[in-house]
């Protein structure tokens, strides 16, 4: 399987990575301007590592599965929504819809469902990977684990919401049982994660 990235796609992925990292930093450090620069820089670094990995692998999962089904697939950023994400974070509201992987080619309802499902499932797997750091490590590694766990649980649940262009809509159209099996535990874990971060 040959996975390639165009220059446009790499630029869009980079822009979305930066914007989401800044948005998460702002919403976690509320009001962020009240914190010392050193704290802001540290939180931004944490966001780049955790949000960056969560976002990039989520989108890469969509792309890989689409290509596996014989499609042409590329990520495109939604710069309007990236602006909304940053502005919304300043008032304590986070809407993380940075763009999407668009794919061309004929496909079945099942294939579209599996392509959509790949992103949230990847976030759940990443949450499990970050969990040991969150509960067993201290210091900076513990902070990475804690934020990585929470961010991935949030992104999995958010993307499984059956609304508009979010992944949950496509998954539910394909299979309601699969949708329920993934969405219900993801939503419960995301609520726990938001409480853990003090954002709920």
Q: List active site positions.
A: 59
Closest residue by Cα to residue 54 from 90, 81, 24, 80: 24
**Long-range CB contacts (within 8 A, 24+) of 86-91:** 86/19, 86/22, 86/23, 86/26, 88/23, 89/22, 89/23, 89/24, 89/26, 89/27, 90/26
Rounded to whole angstroms, how far apart are CA atoms 166 and 78?
Answer: 13
């Amino acid at each position: 399987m040959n996975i390639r990235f165009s220059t446009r796609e790499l630029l869009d992925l980079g822009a979305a990575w930066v914007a989401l990292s800044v948005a998460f930093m702002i919403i976690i450090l509320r009001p962020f301007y009240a914190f010392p620069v050193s704290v802001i820089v540290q939180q931004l670094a944490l966001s780049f590592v955790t949000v960056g990995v969560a976002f990039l692998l989520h989108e890469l999962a969509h792309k890989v599965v689409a290509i596996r089904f014989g499609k042409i697939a590329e990520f495109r950023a939604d710069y309007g929504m990236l602006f909304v994400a940053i502005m919304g974070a300043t008032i304590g509201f986070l809407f993380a819809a940075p763009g999407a992987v668009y794919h061309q080619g004929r496909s079945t309802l099942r294939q579209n469902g599996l392509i959509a499902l790949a992103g949230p499932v990847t976030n759940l797997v990443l949450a499990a990977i970050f969990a040991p750091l969150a509960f067993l490590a201290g210091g900076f590694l513990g902070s990475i684990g804690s934020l990585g766990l929470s961010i991935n649980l949030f992104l999995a649940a958010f993307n499984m919401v059956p609304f508009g262009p979010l992944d949950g809509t496509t998954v539910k159209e394909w299979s309601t049982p699969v949708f329920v099996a993934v969405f219900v535990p993801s939503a419960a874990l995301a609520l726990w994660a938001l409480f853990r971060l003090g954002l709920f």
